[in-house]
Amino acid sequence: MTTDTSNDVRVSTSSNDADQDDVLASTRSTGASLTDMTTPAPVGYGWRVVDIVVAAVLGVACGLLFWAWNGPGFALYDVLEAVTPGLGGLTQGLWLIGGPLGALIIRKPGAAIFVELVAATLSALMGSAWGVSTIWYGLAEGIGAELIFLILLYRKFNLPVAIISGMLAGAGEWAFELFTGNMAKTFTFNAVYLIANMVSGAILAGALAWFLMRALARTGVLSRFAAGREVRRLDRDAAR
């Protein structure tokens, strides 16, 4: 019974990929712009083994980035806070990139949370200044990044959606920090910090994740994913 069910899942996944290719081909033939590109919600939301492996790899890579950004990020944060309290939120974007990047590539429910959480956990294990609380930061940021994809039923993965994902990741971090001390600070500080977080998330997490996804797709490493096939197909069409 277990073997038959597994085979059925594989057949369903293959069929789903073919359906996505058909929809993308149809969209292309109508001359739809990149920001209008729509990828249909899959018939089944189950994760494949390759999804889990790639999501874990992305999480580790982002975790290393988080750890490397800790020093420069702290230094820049202090400089910006000296200019205007709350402006230090502009440094937060790189700590948010895991969620949008994971969702854009994996395109399965929970991908943003999974990648951001793995990255935050690794960063904590490597000696993040926030210690164990880094994991809770990752959870809050991952949930924020995931929300827009959930609202759109995992159908759209274009640049505007990626930017919104980054902004919501920033808002998620801001909300978490209200319960770690920021609620006692002034309204002005929290307003500036929220805006700065969301701006940084939009650029350094959302937009950067989208361009990084496209760059990875062009190398062929994402050929097993709809994201990779979509980008390569668009590039071929542009070359005609």
Please give the pLDDT value at position 3: 39
The answer for residues whose C-beta is within 8 angstroms of residue 128's C-beta and 6 or more apart is: 66, 67, 70, 134
The residue type found at 29 is S
SS (H, E, C) 121-185: HHHHHCCCCCCCHHHHHHHHHHHHHHHHHHHCCCCCCCHHHHHHHHHHHHHHHHHHHHCCCHHHC
Q: Please name the residue ranges forming H helices in the chain.
A: 2-29, 49-83, 98-106, 111-125, 133-151, 159-178, 187-200, 208-219, 226-239
User: How many CA within 13 A on the CB side of residue 24?
Assistant: 22
Give the length of the chain.
Answer: 240
Is 226 exposed, middle or buried, given 0-12, 13-18 or 19+ CB atoms closer than 10 A? buried
Collapsing DSSP to helix, strand or coil, 240 comes out as coil
Q: Are 163 and 207 in contact, with CB atoms under 8 Å apart?
A: yes
pLDDT at residue 101, rounded to an integer: 98
Domain boundaries, the chain: 2-239
State the residue for tokens 């002034």.
Answer: 186
Give CA–CA dist 217/226, Å, rounded: 10
DSSP state of 32: -
pLDDT, block means (10 residues), the chain with 240 residues: 40 42 41 46 74 97 95 95 97 97 97 98 90 94 98 96 98 96 96 98 98 94 90 78
pLDDT, residue 39, reads 53
User: What is the pLDDT at residue 127?
Assistant: 86
Q: Are 120 and 139 in contact (CB under 8 A)?
A: yes
The Cβ-side half-sphere exposure at 7, using a 13 Å CA radius, reads: 4
The upper half-sphere exposure of residue 232, i.e. CA atoms within 13 Å in the direction of its Cβ, equals: 15
Cα–Cα distance measured from residue 131 to residue 169, given in angstroms and rounded to the nearest whole number: 20
* In contact, 90 and 35? CB cutoff 8 Å: no
Q: How far is CA 95 from CA 48, 90, 136, 150, 193, in A?
A: 27, 11, 13, 21, 15
